[in-house]
Structure 1
């Protein structure tokens, strides 16, 4: 399956705060917040939602096409992605803006405060998926967080081309208008949200849960430590538990890794339950690492996790697709 992953490409600046954010907030002073947090650690990592998803897909043996906008500082990052199986031929390089920056601080309860500088991402709408599709036909377009105009643009292009698309608005839901949310979601083969985003999406779109299901093929909702839920109109809900007892080092990129595993399994034509299981196993790898692209996929260890948590049958289905992957 030829998957185009559209969305953000960024550098992550990840900081660890040794306390709890809630202990620093005064309920009667929230209108006048002025806080400075002394952090214990700083990690500078490669990131961006689309790049994270593409990295995971490459690690699972696919050759995803990354479609995002970057600055002239992208050279070293591009080499890294190519070394990990990512096709960067559809990446647009801005002559004026630097690659986006994600700055995130995480407290001891895994709560996060973050800011994002868009930079070159503002030019992502210049990427023409029609030209990309003409060179090498696409089987799926994933529209992940990006410049809002680019997200709508790429969704419309996928519709024009008749290429199935997956909607993953996630962090950008806070910026999108109701009309934009409806444009991004309507007709999606797959819709990805977490539990909070699912409520925000319904509020922004002014749709009920049933309304959403009537407009998408399947709605995949990640539930953190509770795993994942898959809803489809007229079909029983599928629930898959998360991998238990994972030492949480950094939650950044966990949802992106889930999408990598889920989409890889779909490309292998595995059942939805097994796709969610592989997604959860990939999430566990990222959760146990610091940074969204610092984990390595060890096929034997990944299969052991799937076998232990989900059983021999699940491992037997995934195993053949991981054989031959470097350890």
Structure 2
């Protein structure tokens, strides 16, 4: 889609659509290319507190909003409802418990690792705007995973899992007690007798990552831009969004949409998780960070390299030109 829109803007700008539904990863490059129109002057997203914080982040590039949030997805920790009063939701308590955990350690984006690193207080951008990792904080995260692995709390397949499919499968088959997976996968697998949280607490802090799609205008005709955003506003109303996300097994990007979902404990869980989520960093940061974090966690779990050395290597490799 990125190449098609860029090509159309050069060769046939009148062929550009007035309104387009974009995944998060395309928002930054298209905004920086000048194809997307800023939302300012057409709709005040900041004034409406019904949008989740991560939803505003999805549409924002360099402090300017370039669209209206629509479909969301959040990384969550799933576990059976039967364990709701037993499973420790604090990292340190979980490490000394009998419960197991699954996640995709071989994920090229290292989404779980990035969430754990951010939750521990790690920074991902230096003063020059380049990707960075804090060696001390990364070591702490890797030490916890190393300990969990040595205690047999991580299944052997985590080093092979590149996405959350094995996580959802293992949860459904009762092979693990808890697992990190995307909310969309969780909902598509219809885990009705399950609960979810933003993840294990670290230093009493809860944080997770979110992704999503936004409505944006690429119209080359000035008079059509406002009309495009009016349509996007209608399509992002709570009732329509609720029906679309519930049928498609995604998450709403505004809290009041859940009032149109069937109310239950899980709906409350998803709302709470969405309040705690922050948008995945743009590709210019998340791609190199993903490589470094993936290599680090695999080095610790698969190759039995010390957390200190794995963290040092990750920081060094990230600093290479």
TM-score by length of 2: 0.25
* Larger RCO (CA under 8 A, 6+ residues apart): 2
Please identify which structure carries the higher strand content.
Answer: 1
TM-score by length of 1: 0.24
Kindly name which structure, 1 or 2, has the bigger radius of gyration based on alpha carbons.
Answer: 2
